[in-house]
Chain A
Amino acid sequence: MAAPLLRYDLLLARRSFADSFSTARDRLLLAMVAVLAVLWMRDAATRAAPSLPPGAAMMALLAGPAAYGWNAAALRRLDWFRESSVLAPQALLPRAGSSYIAFAQLPLLSILAAGVLFLGAFTGAPSRASAIAILSYGAGLALAAGAGKRAERPAATADAARRKGGTNCPGPFQALLAVQTFGGDRPVRSASLLIAGAALSTLAGCLVAAHQPAAARFAAALAPSVLLLVATARNAPDIVGLLAFAGYRAASVARFVCAIPAANLAAASIALLLVRPEGWPAMLESLLLLHLLAALVATARAWLSPGRPARRVDVQVQLEILALLIVGTLFAPLVPPVAAWRLRLIHRHYSRSLWVQG
């Protein structure tokens, strides 16, 4: 049922790939990256085998958010097919949506299966690694489906929408929050509920995993807030672009987009401090670092958005992160000044886009 939609996506992906590697230099670069990846895998295989708990914890941390992000994107793509694409007649056929979402799992599941096999081969416990990955993946999938359904449920009437918070004319902060929290009618309440839910999950996870190995305690403490960070890490280039032309300063935009990471950090920290599981200072430090990274990425994406297509913004932010990782690998103390320098340049891009200079 979803064959035309999948063929269309495959055709665009093939065309995009061919365009990206159209010159001999591009193909040479791709070949070099492939060779480096193979060498890295061989090098990793010769190192000491990791024990299952850290590997499983990593899997639990990564599989859920990846499933969530991937499926939320697939659901948005399906909505686009149904509402705007030339394939709307095919996308609206019975069962086309469910089969499209089912087939969309294949790429991510293949990567996950490769990860599980890799981990299982190292640790000698493939079944436990698979079980943890499947559970985490299922949780991310369910959350994406739930968020998608929630986004489809508007207020019954315009009057009800006005009573519920006047979303007919939201302020810029509310408009950005609505994008981050999947377009609910009351974005502040939605964001508060999500953050409270993640904090309660952190609290419960810390209590349940109190007598578990260190890696499991770590995963229980970090997973809920990391999942929330990934789920709400949505850019709104149209709104941010408009804010720039309306004269909103870079600092105001940064404050808007960093609100969820800041509130989430505060709530998760309180939950952690209430329970104080073994090794909590390291957990707190990791939480702080992760949220700082999320806030920096959100700020960079927002500041780069005016006048640029969303895809280009995301590619540039990914390249910036990759460059910082390389710098960190070579000489870690250089990361903060390099990050500050890059952020300063990105800030300059936003400032140049301001329509009204106060």
Chain B
Amino acid sequence: MRIVVRDLVVRRGGTLAVDGVSFAAEPGGWAGIVGANGSGKTSLLRAVAGRLGTRSGHILVDGADRTDDRGWRARHLGFAPELAALPTSLTGAELFAIVAPDWRESVRSGGLPALREALAFDTFLDQRIGALSAGMRQRLALFCAFLRAPAAAILDEPFNWLDPVCAFDTRAALRRLVDDGLTLCTALHETATLVGYCDSGLLLSEGRVGRRLDAAGLARGREDHGAFEADMIAVLRGLGGKPDR
């Protein structure tokens, strides 16, 4: 599934959260979005996933303009909910059954069993979500995005709260899904995943694109991650009012 975003503008709570952003996420590609807190990453991803309305611009999926069809995007793009939106009085199994009643069948194929194994939630699937730790909730929220076996998934800071082992395994499982054809867009807060796993990158600053990173740029970042990270930080510090649309 190819997702193309053109000149997207999103307002949130009376402020301009995303201001004319354009990017493309290719089938079998992992697009990583980094930026400071409040730079518009979450609003951009939520708008693409149909969870927020857009003010202007276009969202094309496989060439078809789906800008005005939030419902279509919400149904066809997997999206992990925020932890605060999970129902604390239900169990993980009940939550999954609400999202996709036949989820046990739909996640049996492709790379999803590997992701399920990486997230390792089976031991606490029948416990109430309110009794789980933030990391355990994050595992459930992440898998919610894949319960309908979508061709594209949108994850906002997916590795927050996860322990090092789970984060490592989950990155590898997601990469395998991408290699099998999944289109993946994630907001990230660290550059190691960006250079190590992503195929393209986007730096957001004050709702605008600060820098674009292609596969070659990310490969250079892998070679000298320290220099790459220092460069990214310098860009994020110095962007201010000179973004590149």
Q: Which chain A residues border B55 with CB–CB below 8 Å?
A: 156
Residue on B with the closest CB to A154?
Answer: B11
Contact flags B96-131 to A (C-beta < 8 A → 1, else 0): 001100000000000000000000000000000000
Query: In the complex, A178→B15 CA distance in Å?
Result: 13
Q: Which chain A residues border B82 with CB–CB below 8 Å?
A: 84
- A88–B51 touching, CB < 8 Å: yes
Contact flags A68-86 to B (C-beta < 8 A → 1, else 0): 0000000000001011111
Asked if A16 lies at the interface with its beta carbon under 8 angstroms from chain B, I say yes
Residue on A with the closest CB to B82?
Answer: A84
List the 3 closest pairs (A to B, CB-CB), nearest first. Answer: A158-B16, A92-B71, A84-B85
- B90–A155 touching, CB < 8 Å: no
Q: List 16 A-B contacts (CB under 8 A).
A: A8-B87, A11-B90, A11-B94, A15-B90, A80-B85, A82-B51, A86-B85, A86-B86, A88-B74, A154-B14, A156-B55, A158-B16, A161-B14, A167-B14, A168-B15, A185-B14
- A86–B74 touching, CB < 8 Å: no
| B145: min CB distance to chain A, Å | 10
> How many of chain A's residues touch chain B, expressed as a range?
20 to 34
Query: In the complex, A16→B98 CA distance in Å?
Result: 17
Query: In the complex, A84→B43 CA distance in Å?
Result: 12
Across the A-B interface, how many residue pairs have beta carbons closer than 8 Å? 70
Q: Which chain A residues border B46 with CB–CB below 8 Å?
A: 83
| B68: min CB distance to chain A, Å | 12
Asked if A337 lies at the interface with its beta carbon under 8 angstroms from chain B, I say no
| B88: min CB distance to chain A, Å | 10
| A159: min CB distance to chain B, Å | 9
- B98–A12 touching, CB < 8 Å: no
Query: In the complex, A86→B96 CA distance in Å?
Result: 9
Query: In the complex, A163→B180 CA distance in Å?
Result: 50
- B74–A89 touching, CB < 8 Å: yes
| A285: min CB distance to chain B, Å | 40
- B99–A158 touching, CB < 8 Å: no
Asked if A157 lies at the interface with its beta carbon under 8 angstroms from chain B, I say yes
Contact flags B113-154 to A (C-beta < 8 A → 1, else 0): 000000000000000000000000000000010000000000
Asked if B158 lies at the interface with its beta carbon under 8 angstroms from chain A, I say no
Q: Which of B46, B71, B75 has the most CB of A within 10 A?
A: B71
Supposing A11-B90, A84-B51, A88-B51 touch, asked if A157 and B85 sit within 8 A by C-beta, the answer is: no
- A168–B14 touching, CB < 8 Å: yes
Which of chain B's residues 24-60 have a Cβ closer than 8 Å to chain A? 46, 50-52, 55
Q: Which chain A residues border B189 with CB–CB below 8 Å?
A: none
- B14–A89 touching, CB < 8 Å: no
Given contacts A161-B15, A167-B14, 16 further A-B contacts (CB under 8 A): A11-B94, A12-B89, A19-B89, A82-B51, A84-B84, A85-B81, A85-B85, A86-B86, A86-B95, A89-B71, A93-B71, A157-B16, A158-B15, A158-B19, A183-B13, A183-B14
Q: Which chain A residues border B14 with CB–CB below 8 Å?
A: 154-155, 161, 167-168, 178, 183, 185
> How many of chain B's residues touch chain A, expressed as a range?
20 to 34
Q: Which chain B residues border A15 with CB–CB below 8 Å?
A: 89-90
Query: In the complex, A230→B55 CA distance in Å?
Result: 32
- A161–B16 touching, CB < 8 Å: yes
- A4–B81 touching, CB < 8 Å: no
Asked if A94 lies at the interface with its beta carbon under 8 angstroms from chain B, I say yes
| B245: min CB distance to chain A, Å | 15
Supposing A12-B89, A92-B71 touch, asked if A86 and B99 sit within 8 A by C-beta, the answer is: yes
| B86: min CB distance to chain A, Å | 8
Contact of B79 among A88, A158, A161, A183 (CB under 8 A): A88
Which of chain A's residues 47-98 have a Cβ closer than 8 Å to chain B? 80, 82-89, 92-94
Asked if B176 lies at the interface with its beta carbon under 8 angstroms from chain A, I say no
Query: In the complex, A311→B99 CA distance in Å?
Result: 26
Contact flags A147-180 to B (C-beta < 8 A → 1, else 0): 0000000111110010000011000000000100
Q: Which chain A residues border B94 with CB–CB below 8 Å?
A: 11
Query: In the complex, A21→B99 CA distance in Å?
Result: 28
Residue on B with the closest CB to A160?
Answer: B16
Query: In the complex, A83→B13 CA distance in Å?
Result: 13
Asked if B70 lies at the interface with its beta carbon under 8 angstroms from chain A, I say yes
Contact of B75 among A80, A86, A89 (CB under 8 A): A89
| A3: min CB distance to chain B, Å | 12
Contact of B81 among A11, A86, A93, A155 (CB under 8 A): A86
Contact flags A127-139 to B (C-beta < 8 A → 1, else 0): 0000000000000
Supposing A8-B98, A155-B14, A185-B14 touch, asked if A83 and B52 sit within 8 A by C-beta, the answer is: yes
| B73: min CB distance to chain A, Å | 8
Supposing A88-B79, A155-B14, A185-B14 touch, asked if A94 and B89 sit within 8 A by C-beta, the answer is: no
